[in-house]
Amino acid sequence: MQEYSPVTPIDIEQERKDILNAFKGLLRALKDRSKEDTRLIRKAFDVSLEAHKDMRRKSGEPYIYHPISVARICVEEMGLGATSIVCALLHDTVEDTHITLQDVEDLFGSKVRLIIDGLTKIPEVFDENASIQAENFRKMILTISDDFRVVLIKLADRLHNMRTLGSMRPEKQLKIASETKFLYAPLAHRLGLYSVKSELEDLSMLYCETDIYNEIARKLKNTADVRNRFIRRFMSPIKETLLHEGYIFEIKTRTKSISSIWRKMQFKDIPFEEVFDIFAIRIILETPVELEKPDCWRIYSIVTDYYQPSPERLRDWISTPRANGYESLHTTVMSPNGKWIEVQIRSKRMDEIAEKGLAAHYKYKEINNEDNKFDRWIAEIRDLLDNTEATAMDFVNDFRLNLFNDEIYIFTPKGELRVLPIGSTILDFAYDIHTDIGDKCIGAKVNNRLMPLSYQLINGDQLEIITSPKQKPNEEWLRFVVTARAKQKIKSSLNEERNIIVEDGKEILLRKFKQFNLRSTNHNISFLERYFNLSSTSELYFRIAKGKIDLAILREQEIVDGNIKLTRKDNLKKPNLVENNFEGIDTKHDTILIGDDFKGFEYHLAKCCNPIPGDIVFGFITMNDGIKIHRGNCPNAGDLLSKLAFRCIKATWKQDKLVERIAAIKIIGIDQIGLVNKLTDIISKQNNINMKSISFETTDGVFEGRIKVLVFDTEHLEQLTNKFGEVDGVQRVTRWDTEEESQF
């Protein structure tokens, strides 16, 4: 938000004094500093002041107040040191002034240059371009494994911009506030900066939902005196006992953030007056590290001597800290007036980590001689960054998966604790252990019971992963993993496998060219791409390897000097099948090309009939769930096409990409020994098809089998069903419509 207007002289001398006072306040905030630290900070201030001397913010104040304020947030609210202050003072100079990165390195060294580079936006016009915004975010995160201060300073920058957002245009306010809520608040939470996260969320709500924010703020202000009197009475006996037992402690009251109160009101569908945990009482101990746990539990005992606890509301994040390193003991007790009150018990060290997050972790890392809580998370971020094939938006979406708020605790067979997001499956756990284990995973014993890959884990589960050397990832796995690590590793494996298949297809084509005295030129390869209406050479090779391209057509072509002679028909360009004009849908003239965007509207394959390429299909515009693609012979097609034709739209399959899709088959016949083995042999060995599920039931010698397989299209499916029909005992093979689905 570095917007400014030409300077307007007011009282230049007074402004200089005010700026100098602001800088002195920054120096006072950094209490433990050396003479060298002071010299570097003063040097950075002078460089920034000179570079920004002709700039003002939208509020009208000199621009230099912004870097000073960002630096002060870094010190007071994040606990960062002299290097961070230097970088905060300089963070906009390279982007907005004549200062270059080389100038920064010459004046302050390579470390400061690295951080400033991470804080500098991509030099493009990006205000209205979501993909460029995503590139900026990825560039910032690129430096997280080299120097975490880049992200912390960026959060401080965003926090000050949000605090001063009132001077911006309304549309700009909404844009910046929405972006802050989407990415920066979750990032602050993941780094353990709870106060920063809460303020970012509240400020975002102030501009996105102004009326609701102001109403809750008014009610909090009106009830403040009543809360304070209640807290004094509630804590009086506890405080007296703690003093009597010789504890050194501090008591704080944390009022729930406005955004958190609003989320609670929405989630539980209750008014403000029924939110019982408007505030929490925090007891902070000064105690040695080795006594933290027993002392916290002793204070828990004292609190529950006076007030009855709720067993369901006990949270022990001392024994098992949260993924972002948060440690505290929480209990909810019943007060004398019949209201539940949350009491948080923690040491001074734990409180500093809770307030200052990642920065405090690095401070205590050497003291405690423990692995840093964030090292593993940073390793996961490196994995995401190593995926060079991902787009910027893919990266942002995957990165947000790592900013989960709610976690579950899962145990290995040897009792090692792993922290995963809620909704994680066995596959997520397997990839969390090691990529090779994830790739070879076929299931797991969960609490000694065999469970499938898609089983969703619950808090406290103990897992023993089962692997097979024959197992390999498939597209379906992406549907039931939630962690960014698992998604990235599966995509990487699929790309590697596809590349191997592509190379095989290339070799097959070269042999065919040699057989027909053709040269392996771009001319000949392009002919095949156009002939089969494919989008790329790799797709051509892939289909050749999968047996989906009949290269016998080469025999029919006229060959001149090793090249296929083209006709006018061969030179026709592919039609432009879809135009993204984002206008309303015309059900009479529009056609959905499945695989391409359709005017920005979402569409999905209907579960009731599982259409696959080759099926005659149509789209149906539902009331609440986008557009559903149905087979022309879907059980629901009659009603939809006859009674609701005005909501039906033409659809067809995009033919330039080969994707496996689920098809369901029903087989009926006379039961015979070994029949199931024959059918599975046809699926796996003879046709190399992945099977999703299989079930057989026999009644009075007649069996009915139901099988789900992954096929490319109706031709692929027909080849399989024809082979089933040749098995002795099989009487009928048909498509199976798997389930009913609400359409309206």
Q: Which residue has the tokens 């003291």?
A: 367
Paired sense of beta strands 648-653 and 627-631, if any? unpaired
Q: Which residue has the tokens 């580079």?
A: 117
* Residue 558 one-letter amino acid: E
76, 95, 394, 741: the active-site residue? 95
Q: Is 570 a catalytic residue?
A: no
Could you tell me if 647 and 624 are in contact, meaning their C-beta atoms sit under 8 angstroms apart? Answer: no
15, 96, 504, 529: the active-site residue? 96
Q: Return the structure tokens found at 423.
A: 């909704």
Could you tell me if 163 and 225 are in contact, meaning their C-beta atoms sit under 8 angstroms apart? Answer: no
Q: Which residues pair with 6 in a beta bridge?
A: 55
SS (H, E, C) 23-79: HHHHHHHCCCCCHHHHHHHHHHHHHHHHHCCCEEECCCCECCHHHHHHHHHHHHCCC
Could you tell me if 695 and 723 are in contact, meaning their C-beta atoms sit under 8 angstroms apart? Answer: no
Could you tell me if 704 and 664 are in contact, meaning their C-beta atoms sit under 8 angstroms apart? Answer: no
* Residue 52 one-letter amino acid: H
Could you tell me if 257 and 202 are in contact, meaning their C-beta atoms sit under 8 angstroms apart? Answer: yes
Q: Cβ contacts of residue 595 below 8 Å, gap of 6+?
A: 653, 654, 656, 657, 659
Query: How far is CA 139 from each of CA 117, 126, 224, 378, 620, rounded to the nearest angstrom?
Result: 9, 14, 43, 15, 41
Q: Cβ contacts of residue 358 below 8 Å, gap of 6+?
A: 148, 152, 191, 192, 193, 325, 374
Distance, in Å, from the CA atom of 302 to the CA atom of 305, rounded to the nearest integer, reads 5
Distance, in Å, from the CA atom of 332 to the CA atom of 342, rounded to the nearest integer, reads 4
Q: Return the structure tokens found at 663.
A: 């098809």
Distance, in Å, from the CA atom of 217 to the CA atom of 588, rounded to the nearest integer, reads 52
Integer-rounded Cα radius of gyration of the chain: 32
Could you tell me if 619 and 641 are in contact, meaning their C-beta atoms sit under 8 angstroms apart? Answer: no
Distance, in Å, from the CA atom of 34 to the CA atom of 311, rounded to the nearest integer, reads 50
Q: Cβ contacts of residue 603 below 8 Å, gap of 6+?
A: 592, 594, 619, 626, 627, 628, 629
Q: Is 96 a catalytic residue?
A: yes
Burial of 349-363, coded b for 16+ CB within 10 Å and e otherwise, reads bbbbbbbbbbbbbeb
Closest CA to 178 of 160, 203, 159, 153: 203
* Residue 86 one-letter amino acid: V
Q: Cβ contacts of residue 131 below 8 Å, gap of 6+?
A: 391, 392, 393
Distance, in Å, from the CA atom of 258 to the CA atom of 261, rounded to the nearest integer, reads 5
Backbone angles phi, psi at 591, to 5 degrees: -135, 130
Distance, in Å, from the CA atom of 530 to the CA atom of 537, rounded to the nearest integer, reads 10
Query: How far is CA 322 from each of CA 189, 280, 350, 354, rounded to the nearest angstrom?
Result: 11, 19, 12, 11
Q: Which residues pair with 598 in a beta bridge?
A: 601
Distance, in Å, from the CA atom of 125 to the CA atom of 133, rounded to the nearest integer, reads 10
> Active-site residue numbers?
95-96
